[in-house]
Structure 1
Amino acid sequence: MTTDALVLDAAAQDLLFREARTANTFTDEPVSDEQVQAIYELVKFGPTAMNQQPLRVVLVRSAEARERLVQHLGEGNKAKTSAAPLTAILAVDNEFHEELPTVFPHFPGAKDYFTERPARESSAAMNGALQAGYFIIGVRAAGLAAGPMTGYDAEGVNKEFFADGEHSVLAVVNIGKPGENAWYPRSPRLAYDEVVTTV
């Protein structure tokens, strides 16, 4: 399949998708707050339903906070998270609807759609997951590698970092320059004809 059907040049396609991989080891080169801010300033424009912006990012930098996080990770995720230059906890704000009159001003009654907590949590999870995907692409756009993980005790992470009950963890992402033997072999992807149908 040729890449000339896309406007994005082939090098950028490789950077964001074809050559990008989930990293399992990292160098000790630090990831700066300026890099993370640049990533966010880019990916905040990704579309969501009703411009919902439930994603919240907790940057785990201190040794104390990292220890608090690592204790709730699966065994296979502990060592690489302990060694990563930066780890981000991606969570959703289940009270995101309070911001809808500001971030979706075209519909002043938008927040009234989410008066029930289960509806808010469901919508926050879906739109937060979209934003998490954009965040990972943004990390790649910054020339960094991302190691997203869901192998953790969500209840434990929530109690540890979001004790108010208003936020829920979506993913934990290690971020940095890839280290030695960072990649597992590329896993297969489904073919176009296995995924796309026309009706």
Structure 2
Amino acid sequence: MNVTTEQLFTEARTASAYLPTPVPEATLRELYELTKWGPTASNSSPMRLIFVTSDEARAKLVPCMAPGGNQAKVGQAPVTAIVGMDMAFYEHLPRLYPQVDFRKMFIDNPARVPDAALRNSSLQGGYLMLAARALGLDCGPMGGFNAAAVDAAFWSGTTVRTNFICTLGKADPAGVRPRNPRLSFEEACQVL
């Protein structure tokens, strides 16, 4: 794989519309296989994914999205990733990080769980988008959705809660907006 920084960052845009090009399950598996290697605190790996590809699943997700643009994006995208966070991620720590008993730290102090789950699943969601771009897919991350409705429709009976939603596929060039500005180094950074 010959991936450039342009493909990952400077030339990539948030997708707002998609071509009707399907994304094979093999690509989704490859996407996860790349994503899983990104670092998280204590290798906690709390991200859980549901790849919405069927018309039936899409019909359940669209009403959970904010009316208008987000509903249209999810309705059109070949794949929508529901990026979840397992609130019982620490149960896997004895296997994922056997060097230290971090499981006990979360069991003894459950108030630590929400921040750790959100922080680390968000990191993994970022890796997911970079891996998708590396594989030639475009991404449309979004936060406009009813989390309780998504949780009820897709994670019911589990310890997983929705973090964010991200459409995946080949962007329709007609729906790609010009690059918006970013903060400069001086505005966003300090070197101490």
1:23 aligned residue (8, 15, 20): 15
Which amino acid in structure 2 is aligned with residue 45 of structure 1?
A: W
Counterpart Cα distance in 2 of 1:129 and 1:83 = 24
Q: Counterparts of 1:161-180 in structure 2 under 5 Å?
A: 161-180=154-173
Partner residue in 1 for 2:180 = 187
Partner residue in 1 for 2:76 = 83
Q: Which 5+ residue runs of structure 2 have no aligned equivalent?
A: none
Which amino acid in structure 1 is aligned with residue 105 of structure 2?
A: Y
Q: Within the alignment, does 1:132 sit opposite 2:115 as a pair?
A: no
CA contact (8 A) 1:90 1:173 kept: yes
Counterpart Cα distance in 1 of 2:59 and 2:128 = 24
Which amino acid in structure 1 is aligned with residue 191 of structure 2?
A: T
2:34 aligned residue (27, 37, 42): 42
Which amino acid in structure 2 is aligned with residue 161 of structure 1?
A: F
TM-superposed CA distance for 1:69, in Å, is 0.6
Counterpart Cα distance in 2 of 1:17 and 1:148 = 14
TM-score (norm 2): 0.94
Which amino acid in structure 2 is aligned with residue 60 of structure 1?
A: V
Divergent runs of 4+, >6 A: none
TM-superposed CA distance for 1:47, in Å, is 0.9
Change (3 A) 1:161 1:53: same
Counterpart Cα distance in 2 of 1:110 and 1:117 = 12
Q: Which string of whole-angstrom CA distances, capped at 9 and with x for unpartnered residues, describes residues 17-44 of structure 1? A: 0001110111111001111111111121
CA contact (8 A) 1:50 1:104 kept: yes
Q: Counterparts of 1:141-156 in structure 2 under 5 Å?
A: 141-156=134-149
Q: Counterparts of 1:54-73 in structure 2 under 5 Å?
A: 54-73=46-65
Describe the SS at the equivalent of 1:87: strand
2:98 aligned residue (83, 100, 105): 105
Q: Report the number of matched residues.
A: 189
1:120 aligned residue (113, 123, 126): 113
TM-superposed CA distance for 1:121, in Å, is 1.7
Which amino acid in structure 2 is aligned with residue 78 of structure 1?
A: Q
Partner residue in 1 for 2:88 = 95
Describe the SS at the equivalent of 1:174: strand
Quote the sequence identity (%): 36
Moved more, 173-182 or 138-147: 173-182
CA contact (8 A) 1:86 1:175 kept: yes
CA contact (8 A) 1:15 1:140 kept: yes
TM-superposed CA distance for 1:165, in Å, is 5.0
Counterpart Cα distance in 2 of 1:29 and 1:19 = 21
Q: Which string of whole-angstrom CA distances, capped at 9 and with x for unpartnered residues, describes residues 36-95 of structure 1? A: 111111121111110111000101122121111100101121112111111110101111
CA RMSD of aligned residues (A): 1.4
TM-superposed CA distance for 1:185, in Å, is 2.3
